[in-house]
Structure 1
Amino acid sequence: MLRLNYHDAGWLTPYALHACYAGLAASLSADDPLWLVIARADRGHIALGASQYADAELDLGYCRMRGIPVVQRALGGGTVWVDRDQLCVFFLWPRHAAPRTHADLFDECLALLAAAFAQIGLQTMRIGGQDLWCGGRKLLGSGAATIGHTMVFGASLLERFAADSFAACVHSPSQGFSEWLRDALAAGMTDLSSLGQAESTPALVDALRASCAARWDVDASSPDKLQRAAMFEAECELREPLELGGRRLVRGGIKINRETYLLEDAAAPWLRLLWQSGRLRRAACADPEADLLLQDCLDMPWDGSLLFDRAASHDLAESAVRTLAQRIDALCATLPSAA
């Protein structure tokens, strides 16, 4: 039976938190044991995805004013808020035991986490390949990367999700965008506290370890001297200045969950959309006539003809309807369509 080293890293600074799995992964050889690492951040911070740009995604002036660290993590995905009310979970799979692809890695790790949630009475559903949902809202998101000889999976168990703290850090083109973001996060995310399981994290960890013990020989362990040195080196790299000057990961906005995106085109007249599963769930425009037309298109499957089909009863020129449709398509063309 393969061996899995279990390590509770305890409370860590934001930089040390993300260095603990990145440095450990970089130090492992191809035939080392697997690792399960759990840890908590000692303060709230922003963790940027590996391919994101801080100045495009965040209000860096606000983050500096509030003393909120911004860390560019090694794992992929979007911007996330991490604080003391989350338990971070990382699986490290050296090459000899690693799944064939990142998709297989998500299959393996999310199945273990879903089984742990089930042990405390929470039935979750896998959505979009990387998320677990409960009660129609996102409970857990995850990310992955290959570092050295090791595949890494990371996720956070949300005891309480600080939606307002996260929203305040996000770059918002307008006050309305910021208000809609708070509303969308409240509607699209959930946590253990909201589900009546605020004190269930220890039981979740026990259930996760039990699921692992059914597959591997689990030993409590700590990184050795060389591994700790690699973690320190990774922390030094994370503290280097962030790369700036790029574009947002989601054009014009931010991903709320696998189905929901908040978007804004700030060019006059401004246009703001809440896109969900191929439909406009909420929309607004500074042009009153365009705004009325948008309200007539809410909750309908979006296609290129929808605006034109609904425009007959509105006092809007065909050229204006065409421009509005083009602006919407420019924002939404790459987003998931209705199931």
Structure 2
Amino acid sequence: MRSAARWIDIGLVAPATFHATYAGLADHQVANAAPILLWGRTTEHICLGQHQNLMAELAQPLEVPVLQRPLGGGTVWVDEFQYCFVLIVPLELLPGRPQEWFEWGLAPMLATYRRFGMEVELHAQDVWLDGRKIGGSGAATIGNCAVLASSFLMHFPIAHFVQCIACPTEGFRNWMAEALSVAMTDWQSHQSVPDESVLVKVFWDSLQAGLKWDFIQSALSADEVLARDAVLPELAELDASNGKRLVPDGIKLNARTFLTEKHDGTNWVRVLTVDGKFSRIMLSRVLSAEQLEKLVLSSPTIEALQAELILMMPLGEAEYWAALIMNTAFISA
């Protein structure tokens, strides 16, 4: 059974206006309302997830505007080189479990990429192309609706992004830039960027085919404008004491890649993990490149690290550094 749906294009707007629009729309919808696809772009800003802490995540001070969205997920760079979309769907029209929302809601996005010849895959909440993340997503329940947001990433400015992130050392920042060049990609790295009208047509068709919706061009009603404007003051207030760092001692670069650094007095450890294994390790204690490589190749357990380190230093030191490495590394379950 097909459903009528609204396509609302708000063009290029300020960050707060964009985020307030989908939040206000979602909060204003009544049960059995038509689903909405909100389409638009926004000027550059850093966008935090709703549970993140401003002071813990970001460098201070920042010249780039910062906004905390009413959706989950981590720190993202958003600018006019992304085509953002938000699905605003009454809960009764959704798959039963929230874990299923991403597979359901992002399927038309995957179909769109494939129509352009890019064989993307869905990994949890992220879209991947050729082993790299090309898109993330966030979701929340607002009012009677589920809200699912993502974007078509035409260009990702790694250098700008890493300057915005709180980093314990410049070494950490440098590693982040290098790791992002492997963990992330964008549209222009694979083919020429299409005209917006061409992208919209393909995405529109993919949504209608995949979700069985029939779109009509729509706009915010007067009441929906008031609902949007009511949200704006909330978005303008950034509570620096709220939330926490999403990844303790570091940052998630994609679903498989984490960079962390922990300090213990003058001692420190920096670890890059990929797929739950060591990819790169550095210590403040001087070790040779060959010794560091042996640590990277070891199993990510304290016993395996101790077995390698005891060949490089006294037992007490080996136990200390093995524990500090394991306490630093983000090893997902």
Query: Normalising TM by the smaller chain, what interval?
Result: over 0.9
Indicate the residue corresponding to 1:137 in structure 2. Answer: 132
1:163-312 matched pairs, under 5 angstroms: 163-199=158-194, 201-214=196-209, 215-244=212-241, 246-267=243-264, 268-289=266-287, 293-312=291-310
Contact 1:262 1:274 in 2 (8 A): yes
- The residue aligned with 2:17 is 16
Contact 1:86 1:158 in 2 (8 A): yes
Report deviation, 1:245: 6.0
Tell me if the contact between 2:134 and 2:153 (Cα under 8 Å) persists in the aligned partners: yes
The verdict on how the C-alpha distance between 1:291 and 1:51 changes in structure 2, with shifts beyond 3 A counting, is farther
| Corresponding letter in the other structure for 1:158 | L
Could you say which residue in structure 2 is the equivalent of 1:318? Answer: 315
Within 2, Cα distance between the matches of 1:36 and 1:265? 42
TM-score, reference length from structure 2: 0.94
Determine the C-alpha separation between the residues in 2 that align with 1:165 and 1:153.
Answer: 26
Q: 1:299 to 1:6 in 2, by over 3 A?
A: farther
User: Which runs of no fewer than 5 residues in structure 1 stay unpaired?
Assistant: none
Percent identical pairs in the alignment equals: 32
1:92 to 68, 78, 88: 88
- Aligned residue-pair number: 329
Aligned mates of 2:22, 2:309 — CA distance in 1 = 54
Q: Tell me how far apart the structure 2 counterparts of residues 247 and 217 of structure 1 sit (CA, whole Å).
A: 41
Aligned to 2:327, which of 303, 327, 330? Answer: 330
Residues 146-193 of structure 1, C-alpha deviation per residue, up to 9 Å, x if partnerless?
001110000121100011111101001111111111111111100000
CA contact (8 A) 1:49 1:74 kept: yes
Give the Cα–Cα distance (whole angstroms) in 2 for the partners of residues 275 and 35 of structure 1.
39
Task: Give the residue type in structure 1 aligned to 2:292.
Answer: L
Tell me the equivalent position of 1:5. 6
* Runs (5+) with no aligned partner, structure 2: none
SS in 2 for 1:88: strand
Return the offset for 1:323: 1.7
Alpha-carbon offset, residue 221 of structure 1: 0.6
Alignment of 1:48-127 (within 5 A): 48-61=48-61, 63=62, 66=63, 68-127=64-123
Q: Does structure 1 retain, via aligned residues, the 8 Å contact 2:281–2:295? A: no
- What is the aligned partner in structure 2 of residue 160 from structure 1? 155
